[in-house]
Amino acid sequence: MEVTADVVVVGFGAAGACAAIEAAAAGASVVVLDRFAGGGATALSGGVVYAGGGTRQQVEAGVTDSAEAMFAYLKHEVRDAVSEATLRRFCEDSAKSLAWLEDQGVPFSSALCPFKTSYPTDDYYLYQSGSEDAVFDDSGPDPVPRGHRTKAKGTSGKAFFTRLAEATRRAGVRIMTQTRAVELVLEDGRVAGVHCRTLTGLPRALHSALSRAGAKPWIYYPPVGRKLFGLAAWLERRFGRPLTVTARRGVVISAGGFIADRATIRELGPAYRGGLALGTPGDDGGGIRLGVEAGGKTARMDKISVWRFITPPSALQRGVLVDSEGRRFGDTTRYGAAIGSEIIERGGKAWLLVDDDVLRVARAQVKTQTSPFQRWQVRYFLNRGMVTAPTVEEVAAKAGIGTPQDEAAQPFGTPPYSLINVSVRAGFGYPCPMLTLGGLVVDEDTGEVRGVPGLYAAGRSAVGVCSESYVSGLSLADCVFSGRRAGLHVAESSGAGEARC
């Protein structure tokens, strides 16, 4: 069986959808392949896009922002992951990029969150999602909210992807699910298609049902998720039919990262053990390996973002982070990925020291500042994940760590004192999400994989804006930015034609 199109996209998450929409808008015929039913890590995410420079939502909320202020902050986070020219383009295009998402049907809101949080409740959709408070002193630009959460109940990633998927179909893109890319087709040194295995009939229906049923267990109870997806993989091997999809113009890899590649994660160090893999079994590095096998290079494969949120409740920002020796470290106003990175540097173990006043205010904030999915985590670390004692020395002994020195204990004056376990492996009720940030090295002007003509990469399959560090919404924003870039340039690489079987 063979299918031919101008552009073939491997992976149907945010980056793949954006690439497909832009390629179709440029007049190319497009086929999208996905091992499962589409959505990937995007559908499991919070649906937050980091955007600024004067978005419609910022203006309506009375927030003053500029592309220059956004650039000034992000260059502290992005560092040298991409060039300053690329980062500046990302910031200058940011407000237009969010407007483009709205044009595709993704809803956003200007309802501004009044407190610092890792993710706002359903009352708010614009919030400060980064570490802006911690980066600048009074001489820098004022911190502003740039986290634009998709307007939907609960975690918004599913709604975000659903709207993008609808826009992809409206654009006339052919979407082939339950189809796994296994090898790139090379002709005269150029990528010219993809060899796949695809399911039909009853095996296809069973595979779809297993992947849907296994999505949440894969993250929250891996043994069950691995069993369900193991059955899905068996169906692929047993019943998958060979399929070649020829690409007249080129192939875009947007198949996610490699957080599901347990062997590689283990190689990177024991400190990452016990984290919650934020992704799907499709995030096994398969797309990246396709690019490497075709001659592509990778970078920043050791960059794993580990999230340890201490907010909400916002009162906990008044606490002090200490390591196993009782030494103070970090800044509690920073985003959870920055805190998580510092905890990893300390062997994955850390505690938050608070006094009775902080604890009392934090408990009062739980009802108004947490969403349902956050509430059970907060109740865990404010109860089972915490020890309390009359003095700082006693609470340290109870937690089994070194006594915090005067510098760490100084801000506190209201006993009793508590130590909240914020380690990577703090407990089943307080998971520590992780995702990978490295990938294929691409030309920053086009998204083409360096050294591999006809092959492009986007999202977490490629090195991009968030490949050094992560703040909430930066990955989806980069998926949109890099996906649109790849889709536009691959579509313009040669003549057009209609997809056919």
Residue 136 has pLDDT above 80, yes or no: no
Rounded Cα–Cα distance for residues 247 and 446 (Å): 18
**Tens-place pLDDT, residues 264-298:** 888 887 778 778 888 899 999 999 999 999 999 99
Which residue, among 398, 301, 414, has the nearest Cα to 354 in the 3D structure? 414
- Predicted TM-score of the model (pTM): 0.94
Query: Picking from 92-96, 109-113, 281-285, 430-434, which range would have the lowest pLDDT averaged per residue?
Result: 430-434
| Start-end of H helices in 328-437 | 336-345, 356-369, 372-381, 392-399, 406-409
Q: Cis peptide before 222, with omega less than 30 degrees from 0?
A: no
**Tens-place pLDDT, residues 177-204:** 999 999 999 999 999 999 999 999 999 9
Residue 407 has pLDDT above 80, yes or no: no
pLDDT confidence band for 460 (50 / 70 / 90): very high
pLDDT at 497: 43
Q: Cis peptide before 281, with omega less than 30 degrees from 0?
A: no
pLDDT at 219: 82
- Distances 416 to 315, 389, 397, 409 between C-alpha atoms, Å: 17, 6, 14, 12
pLDDT at 426: 83
Residue 429 has pLDDT above 90, yes or no: no
